[in-house]
Amino acid sequence: MEKNLNFIDHDYIYSVIEKAKQATHTDIELILDKAENHSGLSHEEVAVLFEIKDNTQKERLYSIAHKLKEDIYGNRIVVFAPLYVSDYCVNNCVYCGYKRDNEFPRKKLTREAIQNEVRLLEKMGHKRIALEAGEDPVNCGIDYILDAIDAVYSTKFENGAIRRINVNIAATTVENYKKLKDADIGTYILFQETYHKPTYEAMHPKSLKGNYEYHLNAFSRAMEAGIDDVGAGVLFGLSDYKFEVIALMLHNEYLEKTKGVGFHTISVPRMKKAEGMSLEQFPNLIDDDDFRKIIATIRLAVPFTGIILSTRESAELRREVIKYGVSQISAGSSADVGGYSEREEGKTANQFQLADHRTPLEILKELLDEDYVPSYCTACYRMGRTGDRFMELAKSGNIQNVCGPNALMTLMEYALDYGDKEIIEKVEKVISREIPKIKREDIKTLTLKNIELIKQGKRDLYI
């Protein structure tokens, strides 16, 4: 078992940030030229792009990020939703509404309640969820999480089925990660929250989560247990965003060096108001302009890694930054335990403030109008295209041979099962537009055949 290592060199990151302040307009142009070739960026180059102030260079940054995402993943946007199952938590994280000092009636969903939430998610058309829970070894131990996973997978509503569960729970042991692997999870997601150790310790006082190194090495333990795909993120607003992004790159490189593959996804949540805290407590909040640069720069730095955007952000901003490299979005989300059932009953409550309240159907229609292809595909997980195998496909350019057709098939499936006349017409137009773009004739033929089978009521067809 690996020791808990601290591979985030704070002094090195500080020096990179300081040196970048001396970059010239020409330096920035050369870095943008390099990025166009899908070659990624060094830490120094990432730091330099954060010094962009010229509007023309900003627009070029955004344009390159958009093109890189399209070159690698095409115009697909993967759609998912979170499922919160327990708000019991022993930690006292300063920024979180679940912290133990907040006094409110704690909830842990029963198996029956989980299944009811799942039916409502399936009713919205979701096939992929992110299971979320607070950290409490007594009230929300690994056995509870495993039973929750089983409850989700075993629940079917009409044509609905959750085909892949990504899991976002507290850092744990190799033994517990093996149990998650055996439960057939997709990606294991964990946010470092902040890589800046002094800030991390200040944000997690007298908490199980307060062990910086143990948390930092969670992905290494997960991969040791056989979990191929891991998803990282920080909570932007806790510390200097420049430090955080460079640290994300260091972490990604560490995993590539020691485990053979880095992050499958990077999430970009921003600090939002939560119960028991005020935003005035946090001097490192980022504005929309810096947020745009963060997303675009991450896309240039790690062009083959997915970028996840949540409903924390407004519909207007989400429409914009999707163009800068985002590949996955949540839709119709609730960030409260039992929140989908409560919303059905006309109640609203969330762990933190959400800003995009559109339904999945509304979001899909807008994506289609912007020439994106919304995708509910989970085939890569189920066909073994994970970890280094997925990255090989992405880096060779072959990922679109499977992802594009599967996106079209799941989109047609959604439209027929959960859509209205308007979206069915939009989907038919998209399929007519996208099918000719498929390069391999055998896959094109199989895609058309499968779409016809879906129209006849067949489900769960993948390439």
- Examine the domain organization and report whether 293 and 391 are in the same domain: no
- Condensed to tens digits (0 to 9), the pLDDT of residues 16-47 reads 999 999 999 999 999 999 999 999 999 999 99
Domain stops at, among 310, 341, 356: 356
- Condensed to tens digits (0 to 9), the pLDDT of residues 60-92 reads 999 999 999 999 999 999 999 999 999 999 999
Do 463 and 447 touch, CB atoms closer than 8 A? yes
- Examine the domain organization and report whether 348 and 395 are in the same domain: no
Mean pLDDT on 371-382: 94
The pLDDT assigned to 445 comes to 95
Query: Under DSSP, is residue 128 helix (H, G, I), strand (E, B) or coil?
Result: strand
- Examine the domain organization and report whether 334 and 407 are in the same domain: no
- Examine the domain organization and report whether 295 and 406 are in the same domain: no
**Residue 50 belongs to a domain:** no
Q: Is the pLDDT of residue 389 over 50?
A: yes
- Examine the domain organization and report whether 284 and 410 are in the same domain: no
φ, ψ of residue 188 in degrees (nearest 5): -90, 120
pLDDT band at residue 346 using 50, 70 and 90 as cut-offs: low
Q: Is the pLDDT of residue 1 over 80?
A: no
Range of the domain at 419: 381-455
Q: Is the pLDDT of residue 180 over 50?
A: yes
The pLDDT assigned to 353 comes to 66
Query: Residue type at 3?
Result: K
Mean pLDDT on 201-213: 97
The pLDDT assigned to 400 comes to 84
**Residue 53 belongs to a domain:** no
The pLDDT assigned to 347 comes to 58
Number of domains in the chain: 2
Q: Are strands 160-161 and 156-157 parallel, antiparallel or unpaired?
A: antiparallel
- Average pLDDT of the chain is 95
Domain stops at, among 340, 356, 372: 356
**Residue 81 belongs to a domain:** yes
CATH of the domain at 333: 3.20.20.70
Spell out where 378-454 has E strands. Answer: none
The alpha-carbon radius of gyration of the chain (Å, integer) is 21
**Residue 279 belongs to a domain:** yes
Mean pLDDT on 393-422: 93
**Residue 443 belongs to a domain:** yes
**Residue 119 belongs to a domain:** yes
- Examine the domain organization and report whether 414 and 324 are in the same domain: no
Mean pLDDT on 391-409: 90
Q: Is the pLDDT of residue 236 over 70?
A: yes
pLDDT band at residue 439 using 50, 70 and 90 as cut-offs: confident
The pLDDT assigned to 90 comes to 97
Do 1 and 174 touch, CB atoms closer than 8 A? yes
With vertex at residue 251, the alpha carbon angle to CA 249 and CA 257, rounded to the nearest 5 degrees, is 100
Give the whole-angstrom CA distance, residue 62 versus residue 59: 5
The two structure tokens encoding residue 14 = 């500080």
Overall pTM surpassing 0.75 (yes/no): yes
**Residue 284 belongs to a domain:** yes
Residue given tokens 């020791």 in the structure block: 3
Q: Is the pLDDT of residue 218 over 50?
A: yes
Q: Is the pLDDT of residue 351 over 80?
A: no
- Examine the domain organization and report whether 262 and 399 are in the same domain: no
- Examine the domain organization and report whether 307 and 442 are in the same domain: no
pLDDT band at residue 327 using 50, 70 and 90 as cut-offs: very high
Query: Residue type at 218?
Result: A
- Examine the domain organization and report whether 203 and 345 are in the same domain: yes
Q: Is the pLDDT of residue 404 over 50?
A: yes
The pLDDT assigned to 349 comes to 46
- Examine the domain organization and report whether 113 and 215 are in the same domain: yes
**Residue 429 belongs to a domain:** yes
DSSP for 132-191, written as a single string = EE--BTTTB-HHHHHHHHHHHHT-EETTEE--EEEEE-----HHHHHHHHHTT-S-EE--
- Examine the domain organization and report whether 255 and 310 are in the same domain: yes
The pLDDT assigned to 277 comes to 94
- Examine the domain organization and report whether 104 and 251 are in the same domain: yes
